[in-house]
Structure 1
Amino acid sequence: MASGNHTVVYFSEQVVVLLSCALSFVGSSLILLTYCVWSDLRTTPRKLLVFLSVADWLSAVSYAFGVWKSFRGDSLDCVVQGAISTFANTSSFFWTVAIAVYLYVFIVRSSQRLADNLVLIFHVVSWGVPLIITVAAVSLNKIGYDASEVSVGWCWVRIQAQDRVLWMLLTGKIWEFLAYITLPVLYILIKRHIHIAHVALSEYRPILANRPPSQAFSSMADVKLTLIPIMFIILRIWSTVRFVLLLADSSVRQNPVLVTLHGIGNTLQGAANCIMFVLCTQPIRKRLCSALCLCCKHRAEAQYSDIVPHRLQPGQDTLIRKEEGSTGQAQTR
């Protein structure tokens, strides 16, 4: 299964991971599309979700290219792909934590002004820090072929680098570990606060139930954002397991099942977010279904208008209408 310091990526694993990348690409694109089309969805929490989706979209594209190429050595496209995926993946970590911090300040601290003021800081940190780390890694020739030891065909930290563990930590793993600690704490505090608030306001539920549906749906969408940290941990844990196994020099890291789970986990974030915040959000799902039905209707009408004039000679359409009218009268009788 493995040859020396190299993990073999089988064709079946490539297909599964590429499918995961495609789903994430579509899911992230749908989140961006719904945000652009419907202005009433442009709340700050959903805007943060859009920024996360941009990072996940970029990750999906770069990972798909890496899995499709299945690099066998250092090359220019390997370095470019590794740099893009490193930046996007690290940015995704920061935006996931940023969303949890925003919700904590907004819900627990009840300070919308402070939460909104943090958005600029989120941009500086979530885009700036990954960019600085990536530029430094590329400049020092640390990004390149990693023999799929902690990847699934794509490039990351050069496996031959003497300080590869340090750069693996700096370009992703240390932020991943911090997210594992930070996100559950913030998530528990948010859920605890929401539970206490629901109990305290139970006597006012009949009044709250009369709020406009749009406000109720917006609140539900904001609360759903707390599910992002949980999904993050479920998806990312497999790459962490392989990293720990690499440090322990265990051959288990080359197990095909673990490799496949790693590939799916690293690339499915965009699809998971789309399922939670688009397909499983009733008002957005209704709008998508209505838009799809309307599009199909217009397409059918366009096809009919293109076909009928070519098939009917002048005057035949009037004759057909008369025949249809007489047939309808006969059936009525």
Structure 2
Amino acid sequence: MENGNQTELYLSEQVVVLCTCALSFLGSSLIILTYIIWSDLRTTPRKLLVYLSVSDWLSAVSYAFGVWRVFRTDSPDCVAQGAISTFSNTSSFFWTVAIAVYLYVFIVRSSQRVADSLVLPFHLVSWGVPLIITVTAVILNKIGYDASEVSVGWCWVRIHAPDRVLWMLLTGKIWEFLAYLTLPVIYILIKRHIHKAHMALSEYRPILANRRPSYSFSSMADMKLTLIPIIFIALRIWSTVRFILLLADSPVRQNPVLVTLHGIGNTSQGAANCIMFVLFTQPIRNRLCTALCCCGSKCREEVQSSHNATQRLLPGQGSQTQRDEDSTSLVRTDR
């Protein structure tokens, strides 16, 4: 590959990526704020989602600074921005997989005690490993100007480093590849377990019209379990494609459309999480709607309708429905 090469970043690409950075900043902030404001939402899964959102928040801020500046040299602020984005982005991969592992143990293995005992190791790995990698890379002068060859204006691994491919793998790509492999497998196993459990229960439950709310919650949880790995891969794949094209020294990696998709994908995780685990989670959406008074009477009608649907459940169905909804919004945690 040519070390002197550089991917040109157009103003339109900067504007689009800065907008997605802003959306992820707001989305991650909203997830964190809802956790702080409503104490009954402070479950372990949602707490893990908050840790993930902290990583996504840092990523959004650091990427926005890099896209706004469009670095040209290995300046101190370039190295600082590259170090922060490297740490937060790598940490985001670890927390994403950690949440999936927690859900697997909690749902499939049916052991909340074991799942909760994993939280400390999650912290050690998800913060510790990225920190060690990033500090080592900075000390060895591996973080800096990368000519936007595998970025969109921000700094990452120095393009002139002779072992740049190794450090690109260590500071992100190898963890990204592992997430591609592990997330679909884990969520498929969770979905299969839930489907088997529902099939077993259906043999003993009469078919009742007023089971509809419970079915709705289960369907939402099932949909989120499907979408989580799909959305993660759909957002991150463009970065992977450009990395592979860099290894092949293909000029296609500089294509404006591919560069724009890369920028959108890398900076949209916080926004995607907010949409799935806040806006598409009915209890939280209702609370936000009520608190902000954004929908007036329509908002109150939606809250009342949800309340009435819960009240219409037969005895014994309420707790099951609540567990289904907890799974749905946990899957809000999950990612």
The TM-score normalised by the length of structure 2 is: 0.82
Higher alpha-carbon Rg: 1
Aligned length: 294
Instruction: Give the deviation of 1:220 after TM superposition.
Output: 6.0
* Deviates further, 147-156 or 284-293: 284-293
Structure 2, gaps ≥5 residues long = 297-335
Trace 1:132-143 onto structure 2 (pairs within 5 A): 132-143=132-143
CA–CA distance in structure 2, aligned partners of residues 105 and 285 of structure 1: 28
Other-structure match for 1:88:
88
CA–CA distance in structure 2, aligned partners of residues 95 and 66 of structure 1: 23
SS of residue paired to 1:74: coil
Instruction: Write the letter of the residue equivalent to 1:260.
Output: T
Other-structure match for 2:236:
236
CA–CA distance in structure 2, aligned partners of residues 188 and 225 of structure 1: 8
Instruction: Give the deviation of 1:21 after TM superposition.
Output: 0.1
Whether contact under 8 Å (1:221, 1:281) holds in the other structure is no
Whether contact under 8 Å (1:217, 1:283) holds in the other structure is no
1:209-268 deviation per Cα after TM superposition (whole angstroms, max 9, x unaligned): 999x99x97996698466433221110000000000000000000000000000000000
Instruction: Give the deviation of 1:108 after TM superposition.
Output: 1.0
1:99-156 deviation per Cα after TM superposition (whole angstroms, max 9, x unaligned): 1111111111111111110011000000000000000000000000000000000000
Whether contact under 8 Å (2:191, 2:225) holds in the other structure is no
1:20-54 deviation per Cα after TM superposition (whole angstroms, max 9, x unaligned): 00000000000001111111111111111111101
Whether 2:288 is the aligned partner of 1:262: answer: no
Whether contact under 8 Å (1:65, 1:81) holds in the other structure is yes
Whether contact under 8 Å (2:86, 2:134) holds in the other structure is yes
Instruction: Write the letter of the residue equivalent to 1:48.
Output: L
* Deviates further, 178-187 or 138-147: 178-187
Instruction: Write the letter of the residue equivalent to 2:162.
Output: Q
Trace 1:245-324 onto structure 2 (pairs within 5 A): 245-293=245-293
User: CA separation of 1:206/1:131 partners in 2, compared to 1, >3 Å: closer, same or farther?
Assistant: farther
CA–CA distance in structure 2, aligned partners of residues 206 and 40 of structure 1: 32
Other-structure match for 1:129:
129
CA–CA distance in structure 2, aligned partners of residues 25 and 205 of structure 1: 45
CA–CA distance in structure 2, aligned partners of residues 39 and 188 of structure 1: 31
Whether 2:165 is the aligned partner of 1:144: answer: no
Other-structure match for 1:36:
36
SS of residue paired to 1:8: coil
User: CA separation of 1:226/1:125 partners in 2, compared to 1, >3 Å: closer, same or farther?
Assistant: farther
Instruction: Write the letter of the residue equivalent to 1:10.
Output: Y
SS of residue paired to 2:8: coil
CA–CA distance in structure 2, aligned partners of residues 233 and 195 of structure 1: 24
CA–CA distance in structure 2, aligned partners of residues 118 and 265 of structure 1: 29
Instruction: Write the letter of the residue equivalent to 1:93.
Output: F
Runs of 4+ deviating beyond 2 Å:
203-211, 216-230
Instruction: Write the letter of the residue equivalent to 2:78.
Output: C
Other-structure match for 2:166:
166
Instruction: Give the deviation of 1:4 after TM superposition.
Output: 4.9
Other-structure match for 2:57:
57
CA–CA distance in structure 2, aligned partners of residues 3 and 163 of structure 1: 12
Instruction: Write the letter of the residue equivalent to 1:23.
Output: L
User: CA separation of 1:207/1:106 partners in 2, compared to 1, >3 Å: closer, same or farther?
Assistant: farther
Whether contact under 8 Å (2:70, 2:153) holds in the other structure is yes
CA–CA distance in structure 2, aligned partners of residues 239 and 61 of structure 1: 18
Instruction: Give the deviation of 1:207 after TM superposition.
Output: 10
Instruction: Write the letter of the residue equivalent to 1:61.
Output: V
* Deviates further, 46-55 or 148-157: 46-55
Trace 1:59-74 onto structure 2 (pairs within 5 A): 59-74=59-74
User: CA separation of 1:41/1:223 partners in 2, compared to 1, >3 Å: closer, same or farther?
Assistant: farther
Give percent identity, aligned residues only.
Answer: 85
CA–CA distance in structure 2, aligned partners of residues 264 and 85 of structure 1: 15
Instruction: Write the letter of the residue equivalent to 2:167.
Output: W
SS of residue paired to 1:14: helix
The TM-score normalised by the length of structure 1 is: 0.82
